């Protein structure tokens, strides 16, 4: 048990603790987020993020990419939200979004980050 605690302690010292954001949740403009945002990752895999029912700082989101479909209610804070392992960040201009998706290789179990730009199509 002591070995496990020392491993966890060393990891926290190495990685550092993430401090939570101190900014409060604020109502967002529904028109800025609602719609379907599409793009293509560097490996050619297409994706679509559909945002609906934006009320205050909450929204319903569907993420669809290469057979993976996730539905989730999200909280929007600092122009970002997460759907599973995927992060959506609206650009300052509001015309595009940065999508970051953590992917785990099923064979090696290693992870990598897919990053792409999405544009609203509908």
For residue 25, is it within any domain?
A: no
For residue 100, is it within any domain?
A: yes
Residue-level pLDDT at 15: 47
Per-residue pLDDT at 16 exceeds 50: no
pLDDT tens sequence across 25-73: 999 999 999 999 999 998 899 999 999 999 999 999 999 998 889 999 9
Of the candidates 19, 6, 36, the residue with the CA atom closest to the CA atom of residue 118 = 36
Distance of alpha carbon 2 from alpha carbon 27, whole angstroms: 46
Per-residue pLDDT at 5 exceeds 70: no
Q: Are 116 and 41 in contact (CB under 8 A)?
A: yes
Q: What is the CATH number of the domain that holds 49?
A: 2.40.128.20
Q: Are 48 and 38 in contact (CB under 8 A)?
A: yes
What is the span of the domain harbouring residue 114?
30-120
Per-residue pLDDT at 7 exceeds 70: no
For residue 8, is it within any domain?
A: no
Residue-level pLDDT at 68: 87
For residue 23, is it within any domain?
A: no
For residue 12, is it within any domain?
A: no
For residue 16, is it within any domain?
A: no
For residue 20, is it within any domain?
A: no
Residue-level pLDDT at 64: 95
Q: How many domains does the chain have?
A: 1
pLDDT tens sequence across 80-118: 999 988 999 999 999 999 999 988 888 888 888 889 999
Q: Residue 113: CA atoms inside 13 Å, Cβ hemisphere, count?
A: 6
For residue 24, is it within any domain?
A: no
Does the predicted model carry a pTM greater than 0.85?
no
């Amino acid at each position: 048990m002591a070995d496990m605690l020392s491993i966890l302690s060393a990891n926290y010292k190495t990685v550092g603790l993430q401090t939570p954001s101190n900014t409060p949740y604020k109502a967002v403009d529904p028109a800025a987020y609602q719609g379907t945002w599409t793009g293509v990752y560097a490996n050619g895999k297409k994706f679509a993020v559909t945002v609906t029912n934006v009320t205050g700082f909450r929204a319903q989101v569907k993420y669809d990419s290469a057979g993976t479909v996730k539905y989730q209610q999200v909280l929007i804070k600092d122009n970002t939200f997460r759907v599973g392992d995927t992060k959506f960040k609206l650009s300052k201009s509001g015309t595009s979004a940065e999508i970051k998706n953590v992917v785990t290789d099923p064979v090696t179990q290693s992870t990598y980050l897919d990053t792409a730009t999405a544009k609203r199509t509908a």
